[in-house]
Amino acid sequence: MNFTRIFEILEFQAARFPLEEALVVQEAGQWRSWSSGALLRERERLSAGLLERGLHKGDRVGVLVHCGSPKWVIADGALLQCGMVPVPIHATARPDEIAFIAKDAGLKACFVSNADMLARIAPAGLSAEQLISFEALTGTTAWEDVACDPSEHELGKIEYLRGGIQPEDLALLLYTSGTTGQPRGVMLSHANLVSNVKAVLAIAPIGPQMRALSFLPLSHVFERMVLLVYQASGASVWFAQANDQLADAFREVRPHFFAAVPRILERIYDRLWEERQSGGRLKKIIMDWAIGLGEKFPYTGVHDMPPLYRIKRWVADLLVYRSWRKRMGGRVRYVVVGAAAMAPRLGRLFSAAGVDVREGYGLTETSPVVAFNRFEPGGVHFGTVGIAAPGVEIRIAAPEGDAPDGEVEVRGPNVMLGYWNAPEATAEKFTSDGWLRTGDLGRIEHKRFLRITGRKSELFKTSSGKFVAPSYVEQQLLRSPFIAQALVTGANEAGVSALIVPNFPHLEIWCRDNKVHWTAPQYMVLNPKVQKLIQQEVDHVNDTRLGAVERIRRFELLHEAWTTENGMLTPTMKLRRGEILKSRTPS
């Protein structure tokens, strides 16, 4: 069978790859599995219950959950096959954003996963009858009180509703993070997402008999689409409940495949340096050599790897890399990275260690994949976001003025229907000949690889009248293992400045190796030797990566990381530039 609508993907799996462990989640310390058949049966029960409660085709229903789970997937499928529109809400969204989404979307109901999520949906003003909880919670209606065994009449009604849903119909309403102002509702059709799933299936080495570990929020279109790919490929999906439990999840699940944001790989990298620090002098020398070798991984295709490097890599694998893979369960082979720019050294190091890391690029408005580095020989260039996905076209608009690069424009079946309740914003997002303006600046390298160099809206001019793309400069700074986060400024100033958050685990190891007394981060950022180290890193970036107008003249070290919790990052890990700069301005 084929699938043209999202809810058919689970049926496709059940028909072609029926699994006893289709979805697996940890509950009360034990792994509980759901078979393909059990998921379908529970989906019918929930669909019947939703219809019995008076929800109708076209109603928007929120989904506010703290992590992925089989119930999330079941709720999503039940809504979709009844023609209702799921509205996922980021668990880390601000209260004002949640209230705005609830009002703008006109939510008729909302699923919540636990007491924390129930507290977060409070600003929406929904009644207990409208709130459906995955677990029994006071002030809500429990899942078990909603789901019911469907009668023949109810099964017929479900089938009737399914039959009336067309691939071009609105399927999802996904609100963008909103680095400035309120988020916008992106309307995606079944056809949008299905086209992207099929495109990724054609290029991703995932299939039956493989396990995938899922830990990114399903409210983000990236992990949501990846999950659909897992299901359509016949892979078994295991949900980790929290990022601080990932180490245990890797060991227990032993996945072959997972999707991540760069920060996850950076944390794994930090653990490697902690391991290095715990060893003796010989171990440090060996690990330094192996890490340095990995960060110079020369891969563009297996036949292009120099013979001497291949031998050194084999030795490094025997001495170091093999134990790293074991920490990730021993079977991880493929990782896809998205949502933010990845430092090329990370992709090279993990790939040298036998875990092929491939970075891609996309937007909520494109369902999301636009481009992707491939796993086959010749299909990757670290530092780029890869080749256009099958069926997707990319072009670069002419640069404006003396801007370094043009805006990336996209056309394809994955491009959104438009913005909810915002026809003018929708019209502005498209060119006169129908291409989507991404708002990102970029260029094509090596004939077909896309490099993203910044956001058009973030471009600024220095007092000399020259444009600077801050994102590009920040990406170069993040190449340093001593820099965890960076924000570049300089509008109407004589030169470029940067706010830098050091990579403190890595910095602590450097301090111990160089006999620099280590204290709390707020004091270390003032230490002259630490400032000299970061100055050397900045100078190296200035001399090797940046043009004259982009050179960083000043920087300030900060001791507190920017997070979603302190409001400095969006739920999709993008910098809230205005908030960060405001926090540095004396009141």
- DSSP assignment of 60-73 equals EEEEE-SS--HHHH
Give 160's contacts (C-beta < 8 A, 6+ positions apart). none
Give the model's confidence band at 138: pLDDT under 50 very low, under 70 low, under 90 confident, else very high: confident
* pLDDT band for position 165 (cuts 50, 70, 90): very high
Please tell me whether residue 19 adopts helix, strand or coil conformation.
coil
pLDDT category at 301 given cuts 50, 70, 90 is low
Which pLDDT value is given to residue 587?
A: 42
Q: How far apart are CA 338 and CA 357, in angstroms?
A: 11
State the DSSP code for 161. H
How many angstroms separate the CA atoms of 27 and 33, rounded? 10
Residue 304: predicted pLDDT: 66
The pTM for the full model equals 0.86
State whether residue 47 is helix, strand or coil. helix
**Which stretches of 116-261 are assigned E, i.e. beta strand?**
131-133, 141-142, 170-175, 185-189, 211-214, 236-239, 257-260
| CA gap 274, 572 in Å, rounded | 27
CB atoms within 10 A of CB 576: 21
- Indicate the residue type of 551: R
| pLDDT tens, position by position, 408-445 | 999 999 999 999 999 999 999 999 999 999 989 999 99
Higher pLDDT: 477 or 169? It is 169
Strand, helix or coil for residue 523 = helix
Average pLDDT of every residue of the chain: 89
Please state, in angstroms and rounded to a whole number, the distance separating the CA atoms of residues 304 and 348: 15
311-356 pLDDT per residue, tens = 999 999 999 899 889 888 899 999 999 877 788 888 889 999 999 9
Q: Which amino acid is at 261?
A: V
Q: Is the pLDDT of residue 548 over 90?
A: no
pLDDT at 484 over 80: yes
Q: Which domains does the chain have, with CATH numbers?
A: 8-258 (3.40.50.12780), 261-458 (3.40.50.12780), 460-584 (3.30.300.30)
Question: Can you read off the two tokens belonging to residue 295?
Answer: 């960060």
